[in-house]
Amino acid sequence: MIGEQGEHDAVIVGSGPNGFSAAIYLAQQGCRVCMIEGKSSVGGGMRTRELTQPGFRHDICSAAHPMAVLSPFMKTLPLGDFGLEWIEPPASFAHPLDGEKSVLMWKSLERTSSQMGTDALAYRRLIEPFLNNPETLFDDLLSPLKWPKAPLQMIRFGLSAIRSATGFANGRFKGPQAKALFAGCAAHSIMDLDRPLTAALGLIFSISGHLTSWPIVRGGTEGLTLALSRYFESLGGQIITDQHIERAQELPRSKVYLFDTSPRQLVEINRSHLPKGYCTRVGRYRYGPGVFKIDWALREPIPWIDPMTSQAATVHIGGEMNEIAAAEKAMWLGRHPEKPFVLLCQQSLFDNTRAPSGQHTGYAYCHVPAGSTEDQTQAIESQIERFAPGFRDTVIDRHVMNTQAMTRHNPNYVGGAIAGGIADWRQLFTRPVLRLNPYTTPNPRIFICSSSTPPGGGVHGMCGYYAARAAFRRLQRLDTTALT
């Protein structure tokens, strides 16, 4: 029985990037920490499997990781000593356009802006001020609501970020290249790009591309999980797998409990320990749209019309900004667009461990209404064929996951929502509910540390870091009693 494992200072339920950040932070403070995972291996969205054929290693969810290397907490961890190897492609991402060269996000601001014609100066003026003090900027951005370390920089960011992505791009740029690049970044928000605050993701991902060429992990994203696991265990942490928790009574004795789960799971497990009013409020949390994902085993690289598209591991496929905006609006309104915005990764171009010699992998997903079961294979592959004619001829095998399959793989993805919930003005800082400290609950021993807390989705671990700080302060005041 898991209750016989002995007492702990903290128990972490769930093992995604935020669960690991929480566990590692607390272990660094000398706490006795146990992590519990319901599946046979840890990782949450950071898993890699042979989904198609033997020898083809596919990332199940997270694939490229700019936020991991820019994370104020994760970048301090000595993960290289525990087997993690980052690979930086020449460019962060490519964005193909009809009848034009692809627009590429290079680390060099000058090289990136040189592709944008009359918008070159406007793009440089937009991005350059944020590159002067990027560490402080990302420390402020990847945090809960607080007084920023660099107030003037955050005011500059906020005045642009508060706008819709389409309104901002139309007001700032004239040509298709800059607008498309910005819209592709903003579409990571998984929202209607005409809604306020969607410019924020456009800015964050545009800035990140000039700080790091969006890296991948050698051997697959699971390499990040393995390094986190080894480091946590080196600090004395304990990991228990194959232990699916349904009720709080199944948890081992501990002073505090941190849940790297959806708000729904938090309540389902702890309903007898949380006030009814709080549970009701959590029940109103909005998770947002889901994704439909395909992985391919390929006999050769994707045959892009513009060969420069192969300079990036990540490709944004959707044409010009208006087309991307129309696709995301349709998805937001519950429809499946004929031409969806597609996020594609071609990791095997830069990592020869991903496929048998001479062969390759492909990874792509599009945004769909929550709970969708509609097969988007044709729509996604048609979008790729549009910019890479003959792509289907390279396919050896494919593996698809609709929203229900995504939820089965990771129950945090409610309705297939991989970002942990809608990040609009109603939920950006008040996720999962409005509280002075969003990681706390009315029960002083129960915390939530998943991406359903600020600053939201992404492999940055900052939700877990801030939740663990709150839990550590509580630990210093609590006596050891079981959650019964």
Looking at the structure, tell me whether residues 424 and 389 fall in a common domain. no
Please choose, from the candidates 153, 121, 147, 148, the residue with its C-alpha nearest in 3D space to the C-alpha of residue 134: 153
pTM for the model: 0.95
Give the confidence band of 479 by pLDDT, cuts at 50, 70, 90. low
Domain annotation covers residue 119:
yes
Q: What is the CATH number of the domain that holds 324?
A: 3.90.660
Domain annotation covers residue 480:
no
The pLDDT tens digits for 312-348 are 999 999 999 999 999 999 999 999 999 999 999 999 9
pLDDT at res. 5: 41
Structure tokens at 348: 């095997």
pLDDT at res. 1: 27
Assess whether pLDDT exceeds 70 at residue 480.
Answer: no
pLDDT at res. 478: 76
Domain annotation covers residue 53:
no
Q: In three state form, how does the secondary structure of the chain look? A: CHHHHCCEEEEEECCCHHHHHHHHHHHHCCCCEEEECCCCCCCCCCCEECCCCCCCCEECCCCCCHHHHHCCCHHHCCHHHHCCCEECCCEEEEEEECCEEEEEECCCHHHHHHHHHHHHHHHHHHHHHHHCCHHHHHHHHCCCCCCCCCHHHHHHHHHHHCCCHHHHHHHHCCCHHHHHHHHHHHHHHCCCCCCCCHHHHHHHHHHHHCCCCCCEECCCCHHHHHHHHHHHHHCCCEEECCCCCCCHHHCCCEEEEEECCCHHHHHHHHHHHCCHHHHHHHCCCCCCCEEEEEEEEECCCCCCCCHHHHHEEEEEECCCHHHHHHHHHHHHCCCCCCCCCEEEECHHHCCCCCCCCCCEEEEEEEEECCCCCCCCHHHHHHHHHHHCCCHHHHEEEEEEECHHHHHHHCCCCHHHCCCCCCCCCCCCCCCCCCCCCCCECCCCCEEECCCCCCCCCCCCCHHHHHHHHHHHHHHCCCCCCCCC
Last residue of a domain, one of 388, 409, 430: 409
Q: What is the CATH number of the domain that holds 265?
A: 3.50.50.60
Give the confidence band of 483 by pLDDT, cuts at 50, 70, 90. low
pLDDT (average), residues 6-18: 92
Looking at the structure, tell me whether residues 281 and 419 fall in a common domain. yes
Assess whether pLDDT exceeds 80 at residue 369.
Answer: yes
pLDDT (average), residues 436-442: 97
Tally of structural domains, the chain: 2
Domain annotation covers residue 58:
no
Domain annotation covers residue 434:
yes
Looking at the structure, tell me whether residues 71 and 117 fall in a common domain. no
Looking at the structure, tell me whether residues 362 and 467 fall in a common domain. no
Last residue of a domain, one of 381, 409, 437: 409
Last residue of a domain, one of 387, 409, 431: 409
The pLDDT tens digits for 60-70 are 999 999 999 99
Domain annotation covers residue 273:
yes
Looking at the structure, tell me whether residues 203 and 124 fall in a common domain. yes
The pLDDT tens digits for 398-435 are 999 999 999 999 999 999 999 999 999 999 899 999 99
Looking at the structure, tell me whether residues 195 and 265 fall in a common domain. no
The pLDDT tens digits for 145-195 are 999 999 999 999 999 999 999 999 999 999 999 999 999 999 999 999 999
Looking at the structure, tell me whether residues 199 and 135 fall in a common domain. yes
**Is the separation of the CB atoms in 371 and 334 below 8 Å?**
no
**Is the separation of the CB atoms in 457 and 142 below 8 Å?**
no
Assess whether pLDDT exceeds 70 at residue 73.
Answer: yes
Looking at the structure, tell me whether residues 230 and 354 fall in a common domain. no
Structure tokens at 18: 């935020």
Looking at the structure, tell me whether residues 327 and 352 fall in a common domain. yes
Looking at the structure, tell me whether residues 199 and 299 fall in a common domain. yes
Give the confidence band of 477 by pLDDT, cuts at 50, 70, 90. confident
User: What angle in degrees, to the nearest 10, is found between the helix axes of 134-141 and 151-161?
Assistant: 60
Looking at the structure, tell me whether residues 135 and 281 fall in a common domain. no
pLDDT at res. 7: 84
The DSSP letter of residue 474 is H
H or E stretch covering 176: helix 176-186
Looking at the structure, tell me whether residues 100 and 126 fall in a common domain. yes
Domain annotation covers residue 258:
yes
- Kindly list the distances between the CA atom of residue 90 and the CA atoms of 101, 314, 420, in Å, as whole numbers in the listed order: 17, 11, 30
Q: How far apart are CA 450 and CA 258, in angstroms?
A: 9
For the chain, give the mean pLDDT. 96
Domain annotation covers residue 74:
yes
Domain holding 466, by residue range, is 2-48+63-83+220-285+412-475
Query: What percent of the chain stands above pLDDT 90?
Result: 96
